[in-house]
Amino acid sequence: MSVLVNKDSKIIVQGFTGKEGSFHAEQMIAYGTPVVGGVTPGKGGMTHLDKPVYNTVSEAVDKAGADTSILFVPPRFAADAIMEAADAGIKVIIAITEGIPVQDMVKVKAFIEDRDCRLIGPNCPGIITPGEAKVGIMPGFIHNPGRIGIVSRSGTLTYEAVDQVTKAGMGQSTCIGIGGDPIVGTTTKEAVELLMNDPDTDGIVMIGEIGGSMEADASRWIKEHGTKPVVGFIAGQTAPKGRTMGHAGAIVGGAEDTAQAKMKIMAECGIHVVQSPAEIGVTMKKALHG
């Protein structure tokens, strides 16, 4: 098993016929991901990549039974597209888009609060359950089906962790890229909780970065409820205060959200903290097998 996406998901692509959407949808389909169609307003009725195109998300839900959506919608229209998916009854919404205005996300977060759906991202690489469904922009071939869950705010740094886990002889249950923005739909804690409750996940890699309190919140939850080894890394030990380091959410505001402060809390909560990102794979192997 796995969490959030698997071979039985019914996935649609919002922004299906655009350049980004087409490119990544094609890669997802080639991986074997169960894509049932896509949405591009005004292009309903067309066929694209051998899949049906719908005008609205609710049409895709009605006609194709869609329950999962991945968004490749430009920043200025992305908040609207997320709300459309939530309103149509999509259960897992994955927003890849980088650069959505913060005030749009404040509204989106309030809009989806009472709806039965989970938003992943925005500004994320997506989710993959290896061998079943790749719902994102990650390179599929570095993943292997297995029993390690990965949660991360970053893209390429997640691939790095995946690669190390694979090279250390293990595989991944589900890898969740939660995104690098100040407001994300699913927090580190929520993603860790999903994997902690997944019977087919034996260990969790948790990768954070400077800014915010998500890793500290997750660590305190793990201390109370954790049943599996967690290996943690925080990127940005050398980042200066007050500067945004690429990701909109990666900015040190006070003493609490530095990499050092987060790593200290993580260690106190029983997480196997690695100082170097080169040690993620081997540390997980040791944590599982002693």
Residue 231: how many other CB atoms lie within 10 Å? 28
Q: Report the C-alpha gap between 186 and 174 in whole angstroms.
A: 15
Contact between 96 and 180 under an 8 Å Cβ cutoff? The reply is no
Q: Considering the candidates 24, 247, 272, 289, report the single residue annotated as catalytic.
A: 247
Residue 146 C-beta: closest distance to other proteins, Å: 19
Q: Of 54 and 233, which has the nearer Cβ to other proteins?
A: 233
Residue 167 C-beta: closest distance to other proteins, Å: 8
Q: What does DSSP say about strands 68-71 and 92-95: parallel, antiparallel, or unpaired?
A: parallel
| Helical ranges in 175-233 per DSSP H | 188-196, 214-225
* Distant-in-sequence, close-in-space partners of 121: CB < 8 Å, separation ≥ 6: 71, 94, 95, 96, 97, 177, 178, 179, 181, 184, 185
Interacting residues toward other proteins by CB under 8 A: 27, 75-76, 99-107, 109-111, 137-139, 141-142, 152-160, 163-164, 180, 182-183, 207, 209-213, 233, 235-240, 243, 245-250, 254, 259, 275-279
Q: Report the C-alpha gap between 134 and 140 in whole angstroms.
A: 7
Residue 21 C-beta: closest distance to other proteins, Å: 14
Residue 129 C-beta: closest distance to other proteins, Å: 17
Q: Report the C-alpha gap between 9 and 109 in whole angstroms.
A: 24
Q: Token match 């959506």: residue?
A: 69
Q: Report the C-alpha gap between 262 and 57 in whole angstroms.
A: 39
Residue 96 C-beta: closest distance to other proteins, Å: 12
Q: Of 27 and 56, which has the nearer Cβ to other proteins?
A: 27
272 belongs to the catalytic site: no
Contact between 167 and 180 under an 8 Å Cβ cutoff? The reply is no
Q: Of 267 and 278, which has the nearer Cβ to other proteins?
A: 278
Q: Which residues are catalytic?
A: 247
